[in-house]
Structure 1
């Protein structure tokens, strides 16, 4: 079989497995299995596909057919123009979260002095590492309860040569006495009863600890807003990623805790995606 025939077979198998982006995913898996670029593919598409590459391609296809996320199969993904390692212990960085980072970067740029930043629930470290690489903060601290997630985050900081201080902490428990100018978080925000109905890639292969936001999905926002307030310096800012229907509720939580300049920010689809506020 030729390169083109194997690619066609891969697309058909993934479509049959219910993969929405079957064509694109099949290409990425063939690229990883064969080591060729897209431009090179068009030159060799009618040539016989190497046996070793075919065996590898079939193994990769089998994983994707089981609805293992493409990024976990490949082992990495791009976020904010940087490359991040991912596995089953962390949420895969998503494009929606880039808005969260972009807003924080603008805040850092507007400050008269470098800011101390805290990334709570850091997961893969994509937020903390991006801010350390693309902004000019005085310091970046990243906290998470999962030791496995922190190991991935540390690898990502090293990979991108980012100066980030990592702490294993149950939210603010290990941060006593510290204050920050910016607290940013993409916390768990999916209501517990919604998780069973999520796509298999998320439900079966991403850590539930990073998904489950409690009965109404708002548990972590209450803790971040109330317990996090003493850790935020006067004039400091918070940035939280939210679910598309949580803007009003999270804004009320922040208002009740004494924050001001509360604002909602929409993603590329016109949906509420980030809430920001000041102390």
Structure 2
């Protein structure tokens, strides 16, 4: 079996299965399994594939054809230039969420205490700590909380991989949180309950529903976190949320009850993506 023949078969299987990015995924899995880059492939597409790699590639293609996310097959996803472990217990980090990290990095300073609510894989907190310490040339202290113990295990493993010091706490939002913080970050569940059932199969079936469902109007967690966060923010502390593209006005209104300098930040597509506010005490 040659690289070219194996790739052709993989592409056909994924296309017939209705995988949206069938061509890209077939390429990516071939590179992942064989270690052959695309440029190397074109130099020698007739190169023979060892049998064990052929078997593994076919297994992965078959799993991808059932709409198991690509990242669950490889176990990794890049985010903010860092590589994170992912599995079925955490949301797969998405490029949209990088806007939240980039906004947070605008405010980091040495010695800050940062809390990440609904931390999942830890990608937000760990990226802010890893990149923020370089930016401010100081030490940041971070705590991530989540209701899922399985997600916290992933976050702790990612902290070890990235050599970042962080504390992870099993907590229903602020239930087990103590102390005060200079910044609270959150990418909470924000999809309307009825809309969750309409999501693509990769998300609806294979990603944790508790990280998706934001209640009837998608705002349940914004209400709870905004109201409770004031007990855990120091005066002048900042609360930053990731939001859905159509939630800027609603979340801003919630935050203006407790926060000043409320701003909505857009992503590269010009869509509302982050809301930020300052607690004035």
TM-score bucket (shorter structure): over 0.9
Deviation at 1:42, TM superposition (A): 2.2
Structure 1: which 4+ aligned runs deviate by more than 6 Å?
A: none
Q: For 1:204, what is the secondary structure of its paired residue?
A: helix
Give, in angstroms, the shift of residue 39 of structure 1: 2.9
Query: Alignment partner for residue 121 of structure 1, among 94, 118, 143?
Result: 118
SS of residue matched to 1:197: coil
- Aligned 8 A contact 2:129 2:140 in 1: no
Distance in 2 (alpha carbons) for counterparts of 1:268 and 1:7: 33
Which residue is equivalent to 1:172? 174
Equivalent-residue separation in structure 1 for 2:16 and 2:106 (angstroms): 44
Distance across 1 between alignment mates of 2:173 and 2:215: 15
Q: 1: CA distance between counterparts of 2:115 and 2:206?
A: 27
Number of the residue aligned with 1:204:
205
> CA shift at 1:170, angstroms?
0.6
Residue 32 (structure 1) shift: 1.9
**2:33 & 2:167 partners in 1: Cα distance?**
36
Q: Distance in 1 between matches of 2:269 and 2:197?
A: 25
| CA deviation map 1:1-38 (0-9, x unaligned) | 32112112211211111112111110111112222223
What per-residue deviation string (whole Å, max 9, x for no partner) do you get for residues 143-174 of structure 1? 11100000000000000001111111110010
- Residue in structure 1 matched with residue 136 of structure 2 by the alignment: none
Q: How far, CA to CA, are the matches of 1:29 and 1:199 in structure 2? A: 21
Q: Give ranges in structure 1 of 5+ residues lacking alignment.
A: none
Question: Aligned-pair distance for 1:183?
Answer: 0.3
State the match for 1:216 in structure 2: 217
CA distance in 1, matches of 2:177, 2:156: 18
Partner of 2:100: 100
SS at match of 2:256: helix
Whether 1:240 and 2:224 are equivalent positions in the alignment is no
Which range moves more in the overlay, 247-256 or 8-17?
Answer: 8-17
| Cα distance between partner residues in 1 of 2:180 and 2:239 | 12
- Tell me how far 1:47 sits from its aligned partner: 2.2
Q: Are 2:152 and 1:155 equivalent residues in the alignment?
A: no
DSSP 3-state at the match of 1:277: strand
CA distance in 1, matches of 2:205, 2:66: 10
Alpha-carbon offset, residue 269 of structure 1:
1.2
Secondary structure (helix, strand or coil) at the match of 1:238 reads strand
Cα offset for 1:228? Answer: 1.1
- How big is the shift at 1:114? 2.8
Distance 1:187 1:12 in 2: 37
Q: Deviations over 1:74-121 (max 9, x none)?
A: 00011011110000000000000001000000111xx4x531100110
How far residue 138 of structure 1 moved from its aligned partner, in angstroms, is 2.9
Check if 1:130 corresponds to 2:131. Answer: no
Q: Secondary structure at the match of 2:182?
A: strand
Tell me the distance in 2 between the aligned counterparts of 1:21 and 1:56. Answer: 20
Counterparts of 1:277 and 1:8, CA distance in 2: 51
> TM-score, normalising length from structure 2?
0.95
- Counterpart of 1:267 in structure 2 is 267
* Other-structure match for 2:35: 35
